[in-house]
Structure 1
Amino acid sequence: MDVCVIGGSRYFGRRLIEDLRDAGAAVTVVNRGSTPAPPGVTHLRADRDDETALRAALAGRSFDVVIDQVCYSPLQAAVAARVFAGRTRRYVMTSTVEVYAERGRPGGAALTEEAVDPSTGPVDLDLPWTDGGFLDGHYGEGKRQAEALFTRQAAPFDFVSVRTAHVLGGADFTGRLAHYVERIERGLPVVVHAAPQPASFVHEAEIARFLAWAAAADFTGPVNAASHGALDARALSAAIGRALGRAAAAESVVRPGEPVSPYSFDRCYAMDTTRATRLGFPFSAVADWLPLVVKETVR
């Protein structure tokens, strides 16, 4: 398999590249070059937002599949749809559970792919997507609109959006799990909502495997990717405490607007993975890998 990975310079993207390479795929990495690509792959340097530069870097090249790790807006999706037309038969976009923001409800069921239908979602290319602050503040919406652009504008390749759960483990740069570990180690309470709702998680090695699997498959459309076993913030705190051999205390917020810990939500943020399971991917259980991830996080 001849694979092009856009981005993938850090976290599970780098593991994905290494997994593909080690499985025998010919891997081409396209990024701005701020981080060297792993050995054994082709590295093309180009800014994906610069359509002319991207076309020049890809001149004369085609691929069986493209895995886009860094598509954050419909503008970026529009460039990719044009540039990769005729260069690939399949396009896998790494999306996010954040596309479901505001879709869940307290006590609600786990979210299925139908909760956000990219075939009917809005696309507004006139929003200030090139402004970093706007893009950061509209992360979920940017992903939703990118999915919608690929889907509604009939991109000239098979399109898949992998809606990734909250990723834990590995070289996690977010510091969200570390927040829990550090507070519990120090005997401090973890501040959560009064009635925190369940969320889905996935190990960084598993999401890398899932993306490689999706690249080689033949289904299309959105698909949820998460390990089995959603946890709310209280249950997550307790599991982390057990892994550390310490008691964990969760303290509910007292005043509206008071900051809460990462992964504490006031609406259901769990994803239903029935579609991916039926397609044949065997997810692990969070309980199988969380204790190891916690121990790796301890400084």
Structure 2
Amino acid sequence: MKNILILGGTRFFGKRLVERLLEDGHEVTIATRGNTPDPFGDRVERLVLDRENKESLAQAVADGRVWEVVYDNICYSPQAAQDACDVFQGKVKRYILTSSLSVYDPSSHRNQEKDVNPYIYPITMGGKDDFSYAEGKRLAEAVFFQKADFPVCAVRFPIVLGEDDYTERLEFHIRRIQSGTPIGMPNLSAKLALIDSEEAASFLGWLRTQRVEGPINACSQGDVKLSDIIGWIEKETGRKAIIQRESAKENASPFGVPESWTMDTSKAERLGYSFKPIRSWVPALIKQLSQQENV
């Protein structure tokens, strides 16, 4: 039984991760602002904190416990990373940071971990409002790998999808195709890496048992063209999509990348993890969500 802390664990793949850890018999503590209810009842301990406030973070974990693992799903800035390095010094045996495909620029090749090296990336300090999401994640990684005195692994996830995706990115496309509303996509031929929320949680849970440090890519096996996604939605809705290369901001697709945005997962595969094929679950999810939209 391990003593595990999850910073942000009340929704989406964080929620699924908590369930997996509880099923495996671990003692789980979730730390959030306390604004989102969770279904865990008395199976978890709860800490209320402001992740962007160092004093709040320090007070929340000031009871002297040493955590076997800390999962950090809500770090978006170099300052938040530095705060964690200071607060958890001597208090954690392993730290797993949720990072993002966004640390890479869209590219014609599959991005490898070495393409953005956080061990040498120049650090500029600031809060999450001082940087774009992508730069905030790059800088957070850099701080952890250059400043932390504990082992850190940063999981670079692509867009995570699932029926529990509170951002409803797939539903955006389904609803617009159903209603005949235009969708802005500059490049239908662009390929996109994806992962579903169940596997994102599974990978995080598996990573707890590994000794790997540094950044690690995690996404479904293979990739899909945006035209494939649109085609699957058209099939399920029986409607033709109206795609515009240039569009008003409110019509812009959350998948609307100018060129392919994919990752190489050789590092994870060498460690023994086998990702699900992307085509084994995306069409099925689109079918499920399309049926729900018709209810």
Q: Is the shorter-chain TM-score for this pair beyond 0.5, marking a shared fold?
A: yes
1:215 is matched with: 208
Q: Which moved more, 1:191-200 or 1:69-78?
A: 191-200
Q: 1:255 & 1:46 partners in 2: Cα distance?
A: 40
Q: 2:7 & 2:246 partners in 1: Cα distance?
A: 44
The answer on whether the counterparts of 1:6 and 1:68 sit within 8 Å (CA) in structure 2 is: yes
Q: 1:98 is matched with which residue: 81, 102, 115?
A: 102
Q: 2:268 & 2:244 partners in 1: Cα distance?
A: 35
The answer on whether the counterparts of 2:184 and 2:248 sit within 8 Å (CA) in structure 1 is: no
Q: Which moved more, 1:43-52 or 1:190-199?
A: 190-199
1:150 is matched with: 144
SS for the counterpart of 2:208 is helix
Displacement after TM superposition at 1:254 (Å): 5.1
Displacement after TM superposition at 1:48 (Å): 2.3
Displacement after TM superposition at 1:256 (Å): 11
Q: Is residue 295 of structure 1 aligned with residue 290 of structure 2?
A: no
Q: Is residue 72 of structure 1 aligned with residue 71 of structure 2?
A: no
SS for the counterpart of 1:63 is coil
SS for the counterpart of 2:95 is strand
Q: Is residue 6 of structure 1 aligned with residue 7 of structure 2?
A: yes
Counterparts of residues 44-63 of structure 1 (less than 5 Å): 44-58=47-61, 59-63=63-67
- TM-superposition CA deviations, 1:111-141 (whole Å, max 9, x none): 111111101112111x4x254xx45xx1010
Instruction: Call closer, same or farther: CA 1:97–1:292 in 2, change over 3 Å.
Output: same
Counterparts of residues 1-299 of structure 1 (less than 5 Å): 1-37=2-38, 38-39=40-41, 40-58=43-61, 59-100=63-104, 103-105=105-107, 108-125=108-125, 127=126, 129=127, 131=129, 134-135=130-131, 138-153=132-147, 155-188=148-181, 190-194=183-187, 196-242=189-235, 244=236, 246=238, 248-249=240-241, 251-253=243-245, 260-297=252-289, 298-299=292-293
Displacement after TM superposition at 1:195 (Å): 5.3
Instruction: Call closer, same or farther: CA 1:7–1:156 in 2, change over 3 Å.
Output: same
The answer on whether the counterparts of 1:112 and 1:271 sit within 8 Å (CA) in structure 2 is: yes
Read off the aligned partner of 1:104 and give its amino acid letter.
Answer: P
Q: 1:285 & 1:234 partners in 2: Cα distance?
A: 18
Q: 1:53 & 1:257 partners in 2: Cα distance?
A: 37
TM-score under structure 2 length normalisation: 0.90
Task: Name the count of aligned residue pairs.
Answer: 287
Displacement after TM superposition at 1:255 (Å): 7.6
Read off the aligned partner of 1:282 and give its amino acid letter.
Answer: S
Displacement after TM superposition at 1:193 (Å): 1.4
TM-score under structure 1 length normalisation: 0.89
Read off the aligned partner of 1:183 and give its amino acid letter.
Answer: R
Displacement after TM superposition at 1:15 (Å): 1.1
Instruction: Call closer, same or farther: CA 1:53–1:195 in 2, change over 3 Å.
Output: closer
Q: 2:247 & 2:8 partners in 1: Cα distance?
A: 41
Instruction: Call closer, same or farther: CA 1:13–1:258 in 2, change over 3 Å.
Output: closer
The answer on whether the counterparts of 2:106 and 2:258 sit within 8 Å (CA) in structure 1 is: no
The answer on whether the counterparts of 1:196 and 1:266 sit within 8 Å (CA) in structure 2 is: no
- TM-superposition CA deviations, 1:72-130 (whole Å, max 9, x none): 00100001011111111110000011111xx333xx111111111101112111x4x25
Q: 2:240 & 2:232 partners in 1: Cα distance?
A: 9
Overall identity of the aligned pairs, in %: 34
Unaligned runs of 5+ in 1: none
Read off the aligned partner of 1:42 and give its amino acid letter.
Answer: E
RMSD of aligned Cα (Å): 2.2
Q: 1:267 & 1:194 partners in 2: Cα distance?
A: 7
Q: 1:122 & 1:12 partners in 2: Cα distance?
A: 30
Read off the aligned partner of 2:72 and give its amino acid letter.
Answer: D
Displacement after TM superposition at 1:246 (Å): 2.4
SS for the counterpart of 1:282 is coil
Instruction: Call closer, same or farther: CA 1:256–1:246 in 2, change over 3 Å.
Output: closer
Q: 1:266 & 1:83 partners in 2: Cα distance?
A: 40
SS for the counterpart of 2:124 is coil
Q: 2:187 & 2:8 partners in 1: Cα distance?
A: 39
Read off the aligned partner of 1:229 and give its amino acid letter.
Answer: G
Q: 2:95 & 2:217 partners in 1: Cα distance?
A: 16
